[in-house]
Amino acid sequence: MKIALIGYGTMGKLIERLALEKGHEIAAIIDESDAERTAAEIAGKLHGCDVAIDFTTAEAVRRNVEACVLAVVPLVEGTTGWNASRTEIEQIVLDGNGSMVYGANFSIGVNLFYRIAEFAAELFARFPEYQAFIEEQHHSRKKDAPSGTALKLRDLLSHYVNAGDIASTRAGSIPGTHRVGFDGPADQVLLEHIARSREGFALGAVMAAEWVVGKKGFFEFSEVMDEIVGKKTAN
């Protein structure tokens, strides 16, 4: 599989290493030197690629999506912070008969954590004396707060309980920590996911890239996980 990397920072380099280890080829790299290029110019650099993986900035997402649609290259969108433009981005992909997988977090562990947290919320909804809360911590370079993962958790919990405000911390080099708690008068139940490195995010992005090739549409990474979990359960 020929992969285009859009963004060649820490995540881009990590994805490159993991993709090569899995036998894929890095066919194009779009980096900071391409920051001023138009969508059409970026599209020109994507021709011949089977899929693109984007970890850049929220401000660049629309251009990168347009470029992939123009080049007829499926996109894995790993950038966060663009949720307010989600409807617009989805329309660009669907109108152009493109394909894109996006997600607040591509870590397999986090996506299983989503399911655990949602199930816990369903249980605690029967006991109104417990109040739900969400906390998240990330490195000081992460711009968006709350994190996309925390917002996704709040959305899932809101089907059953009120999770209230999200407590966010930006400090040091924390890869990512998320907690979902249920606090009652007599005790507290705490669920936690701790990322030890960014490798889990990169591995999930490569997995999504393998999955989306040959498909058309606008997909959330949870749909990829649903298929994977379903297959493992069947086995």
Active-site residue, selected from the candidate residues 45, 138, 152, 178: 138
How many Å apart are CA 10 and CA 12, to the nearest integer?
6
Scan for tokens 């739900």, then name that residue. Answer: 132
Burial (CB count <10 Å: 0-12, 13-18, 19+), residue 187: exposed
How many Å apart are CA 85 and CA 79, to the nearest integer?
13
How many Å apart are CA 179 and CA 189, to the nearest integer?
10
45 is known as an active-site residue: no
**25-30 and 51-54 beta bridge pairing:** unpaired
Q: Which residues contact 67 (CB under 8 A, 6 or more apart)?
A: 39, 40, 42, 43, 46
How many Å apart are CA 38 and CA 107, to the nearest integer?
31
142 is known as an active-site residue: yes
Q: Which residues are catalytic?
A: 138, 142
